[in-house]
Amino acid sequence: MEVVIVPDAKAGGELIAGAMAQLLLDKPTALLGVATGSTPLPIYQALAAQVAAGAVDVSRARIAQLDEYVGLPAEHPESYRSVLRREVLEPLGIGMDAFFGPDGTAEDVRGACEAYDRALAEAGGVDLQLLGIGTDGHIGFNEPCSSLASRTRIKTLTEQTRVDNARFFDGDIGQVPHHVITQGIGTILEARHLVLLATGEGKADAVAATVEGPVAAVCPASALQLHAHATVVVDEGAAAKLKHADYFRHTFVNKPAWQGI
């Protein structure tokens, strides 16, 4: 995988938005897999700025959701569908008709998961999947020890993830659902390009395990090592525990510009 160390979150956002813009130039109908959480916000802001400046055309782009809480009505402000509508679709001017996501309120959860995997495949697959990372190394909501071959399915959140996400629910862990639907690790690995952004020292251990640890289900993000085109973008804080940081810096500085990320 490629590791790019950037000075700060804003620079990471701009780098990744640039790659998305290039993809949209090459393929205007690209299916963009998007993630929630605080980390990707600078990406969405940078991309929205490019759209506002007329530098990128997203009129034919499509958006796919990574994961969703089970049991939160779609219109709940913290359902990931609502979050993505607010933070991605509306700022980019993309309508919900171009949106793909699992139904977190379905009675038949298993059927909803299978339907979502089918919908992604029928849409031609995800071209670029954005990922954040949990402090425990999760991607999407694939918690530690998730099968590296997993498909979209229901998962139970760890207590740590519920604590981490309580900030979106008035700091009240009691409001954080226990169950979620997440694209499986096998599903995620089918996207053509994986781009993980991690910022802040709180992610340093998870990033080191992802990049320099063994491929192991105990760190779900380490599955990125199996992907032919995976890019991990980290700020100095998140890079703090990387033993090969100097090599990653050297590689990026000397990279031919035409290669992109």
Q: Which residues make beta-bridge pairs with 219?
A: 216
Out of 20, 30, 36, 103, the only residue in the binding site for ligand GLP (CB under 6 A) is: 36
- The smaller minimum CB distance to ligand GLP, of residues 22 and 37, is found at 37
| Cβ neighbours for 111, distance < 8 A, ≥ 6 positions apart | none
- Active site (annotated) includes residue 229: no
By CB under 6 A, which span of 34-42, 105-113, 233-241, 251-259 interacts with ligand GLP? Answer: 34-42
CB of 157 to ligand GLP, least distance (A): 8
- Active site (annotated) includes residue 2: no
| Cβ neighbours for 127, distance < 8 A, ≥ 6 positions apart | 23, 27, 30, 31, 32, 191, 192, 193
Task: Give the separation between CA 119 and CA 102, rounded to whole angstroms.
Answer: 9
- The smaller minimum CB distance to ligand GLP, of residues 67 and 117, is found at 67
- Active site (annotated) includes residue 108: no
- Of residues 100-159, those binding ligand GLP (CB under 6 A): 132-134, 140-141
Out of 67, 68, 143, 235, the only residue in the binding site for ligand GLP (CB under 6 A) is: 67
Out of 8, 28, 29, 38, the only residue in the binding site for ligand GLP (CB under 6 A) is: 38
Query: Could you give the 3-state DSSP secondary structure of residue 239?
Result: coil
- Active site (annotated) includes residue 244: no
Q: Residue 66, interface with ligand GLP (CB under 6 A)? A: yes
159 by Cβ neighbours in 10 Å (0-12 / 13-18 / 19+) ranks as exposed
What interhelical angle do 41-52 and 9-26 show, nearest 10?
50
CB of 256 to ligand GLP, least distance (A): 30
- Binding residues for ligand GLP, total number by CB under 6 A: 14
Q: Residue 37, interface with ligand GLP (CB under 6 A)? A: yes
CB of 130 to ligand GLP, least distance (A): 9
Out of 39, 79, 183, 187, the only residue in the binding site for ligand GLP (CB under 6 A) is: 39
Q: Which of 103, 127, 136, 164 is catalytic?
A: 136
CB of 54 to ligand GLP, least distance (A): 29
Q: If you ran DSSP here, which 8-state letter would residue 256 be given?
A: -
Q: How far apart are the first and last CA of the chain?
A: 10
**Identity of the amino acid at 137:** G
Out of 146, 161, 183, 210, the only residue in the binding site for ligand GLP (CB under 6 A) is: 161
Q: Residue 91, interface with ligand GLP (CB under 6 A)? A: no
Nearest to 237 by CA among 180, 190, 199, 189: 199
How far lies 50's CA from each of 6, 20, 68, 112, 190, in Å? 20, 11, 28, 35, 28
- The smaller minimum CB distance to ligand GLP, of residues 43 and 56, is found at 43
Tell me the residue length of the chain.
261
Residue pair 112/135 in contact by the 8 Å Cβ criterion:
no
User: Under the rule (CB under 6 A), what is the footprint of ligand GLP?
Assistant: 35-39, 66-67, 132-134, 140-141, 161, 165
Active site (catalytic) residues = 67, 136, 138, 143
